[in-house]
Amino acid sequence: MERLPDEIWLEIVAGLGDSHHALAAFARVCRKGYDLAKPPLYERLPPPGAGSRISQFLVRTLCENETIADLVRRGEFVEGVNYDFEDSEVLPVVQASARLPDDFKSALINGGFDLGEGVYPDWHALFVALLPNLEELAIEIPYDAAALKKALGVNRLPRLRKLSVFHADTEGAADLWYLMPELFQVGATTLETFEGHANDWSLELSGDPAKPPNSTVVHETLRYLTLQLSLFDAAGLARLLTSCPRLVSLRLHWGDACISDSFELDLPGTGQTIREYAPAELEVLLLNPVDHANYDTVTEGVGSLRSLKRLRELHLSHDVLAGVVNGAADGPGSPLHRDALVRLLPASLEELYLEIRHSPPPQRVLAAQVRHLVRDPEQFPNLWRVELGVLDPTGFDMRGWTNYGWTATVIDLKKDGNWDANWLEMRTANRIRLERIRN
């Protein structure tokens, strides 16, 4: 088998994908199989949660073999990691590692670090110190800035491009302004993507003199930002946008956790803040307040987004954009008027993903608004897809779209396999997908 051409070997390895089980089995076939499978096998470090012996073996391997540790590019250390072996089983290996700095070893010996079960920051610090070439890191954190600093270390990941942080504390919010300096310091010059999967990311600034807007730290390298279950007011959002002037993608999911009552859902204020502070390079925007406690009480939307001159992709619901239709008149400026979409969307738009949820317009009104949006290609020359999330697609007029150069299709995402790939808050499996007919 070793006589097979290199092209065949490489094709086999590529076909195994990132399955650790398959790559490990292939690496045991022969020496050449091991040499070819080793880079992808160790590129992504699997969560060491399958048992204490596997965790112990992983720590030993990384401490004793710097070549393997240097291959690791992606690491995931989140809830469920099982480190339940005794310190005595780990300490000799850690102390003997040439990779770890002396101050780290001293702190470990003198009780400054605790490698007991469930002590995530100390374990994160150990792995961060062992894996200097990490480009993607996913960790679970407490909302305590000191513990976070301990978990990430200081300037130990010079190649980090993506940081995903899971905050699962249910007793209080993780104040992003106190944590951001520590979060971004670990990859201050290279970090491009930050994803905050949290119970609460707090961005409230109102009434807190300890967090003045003029103290904003600018993160020039950050291009893609996602905050899930976040709580913020207009001032907090303004500071966020000001601190990330080169954002290309912004995805915000409002939260509904223990302190959400203190955060009113101000969609008009959010729209005004976006119009004033959105980075010039912003191309992707997602606004999802469906999980906020006050979502069902809002009446006004964010309003016009036409000032976002480079926006290509937009995800939000009809009421978040135009306001609720209950009690609304049918005149210009109303969410029921046929130009409700045309007057609010930027001409640069290429893809629109519109959810139909709270106080939806009648299907005939929605169809008329979308027809008005797509019928004149000069208004939106780059628009090629409009996707509507509806509870019942049967009332939507599917006829005549080819007259405007578009196709209309009803899609059940649960059947076509894309359900899990879509954004978190998607409650409606039925989609009406409209696409421009390409010449």
pLDDT at 209: 41
Kindly list the domain boundaries of the chain, sorted by start residue: 1-43, 46-356
Residue 244 φ then ψ, to 5°: -125, 70
Q: To the nearest 10°, the Cα dihedral for 4, 10, 12, 17?
A: 170
CA 224/CA 58 separation, integer angstroms? 31
Q: What confidence category does residue 425 fall into, taking pLDDT thresholds of 50, 70 and 90?
A: very low
pLDDT at 391: 67
Residue 249 φ then ψ, to 5°: -130, 130
pLDDT tens by residue, 98-114: 878 787 778 777 777 77
User: Distance from first CA to last CA of the chain, Å, rounded?
Assistant: 49
Q: What's the chain's length in residues?
A: 439
- What average pLDDT does the segment 9-36 reach? 75
- What average pLDDT does the segment 291-302 reach? 82
pLDDT at 420: 43
pLDDT at 214: 47
pLDDT at 331: 66
How far, CA to CA in Å, does 365 sit from each of 353, 368, 432? 17, 5, 15
Between 353 and 330, the higher pLDDT residue: 353
Q: Which of 357, 372, 353, 355 is nearest to 324 (CA)?
A: 357
Between 406 and 366, the higher pLDDT residue: 406
pLDDT tens by residue, 202-238: 665 444 444 444 455 778 899 999 988 777 777 878 8
At how many degrees (to 10) do helices 234-243 and 267-277 cross?
20
pLDDT at 202: 61
CA 249/CA 222 separation, integer angstroms? 10
- What average pLDDT does the segment 77-92 reach? 61
User: What one-character-per-residue DSSP string does 62-112 give?
Assistant: HHH-HHHHHH--EEEE-TT----S-HHHHHHHHHH-SSS-HHHHHHHHTTS
106-110, 344-348, 422-426: which has the minimum mean pLDDT?
A: 422-426
- When the candidates are 3.30.420, 3.80.10, 3.30.70, 1.20.120, the CATH number that belongs to 46-356 is 3.80.10
pLDDT tens by residue, 233-263: 778 788 889 889 999 999 998 876 444 455 6
Q: Is the CB of residue 318 less than 8 Å from the CB of residue 279?
A: no
Q: What proportion of the chain, given as a percentage, has pLDDT over 90?
A: 23
pLDDT tens by residue, 112-163: 777 666 666 777 778 888 888 999 988 877 656 677 777 776 556 889 999 8
- What average pLDDT does the segment 386-399 reach? 83
pLDDT at 414: 61
At how many degrees (to 10) do helices 87-96 and 102-109 cross?
160
Q: Is the CB of residue 241 less than 8 Å from the CB of residue 225?
A: no
Question: At residue 408, does pLDDT exceed 90?
Answer: yes
Segment holding 27, helix H or strand E? helix 20-27
CB atoms within 10 A of CB 393: 19
Out of 162-171, 186-195, 280-289, 371-380, give the one with best mean pLDDT. 280-289
| Per-residue tokens: 242 | 């000001």
Between 299 and 2, the higher pLDDT residue: 299
Q: Is the CB of residue 123 less than 8 Å from the CB of residue 81?
A: yes
Q: What confidence category does residue 338 fall into, taking pLDDT thresholds of 50, 70 and 90?
A: confident
| Per-residue tokens: 354 | 């519109």
pLDDT at 102: 81
Segment holding 272, helix H or strand E? helix 267-277
192-201, 272-281, 344-353: which has the minimum mean pLDDT?
A: 192-201
| Per-residue tokens: 158 | 């010079």
Task: Please list the alpha-helical segments (H only) found in 120-266.
Answer: 120-130, 145-152, 176-185, 234-243
pLDDT at 176: 66
Q: Which of 373, 382, 254 is nearest to 313 (CA)?
A: 382
Q: Is the CB of residue 314 less than 8 Å from the CB of residue 349?
A: yes
Helix (H, G, I), strand (E, B) or coil at 231: strand
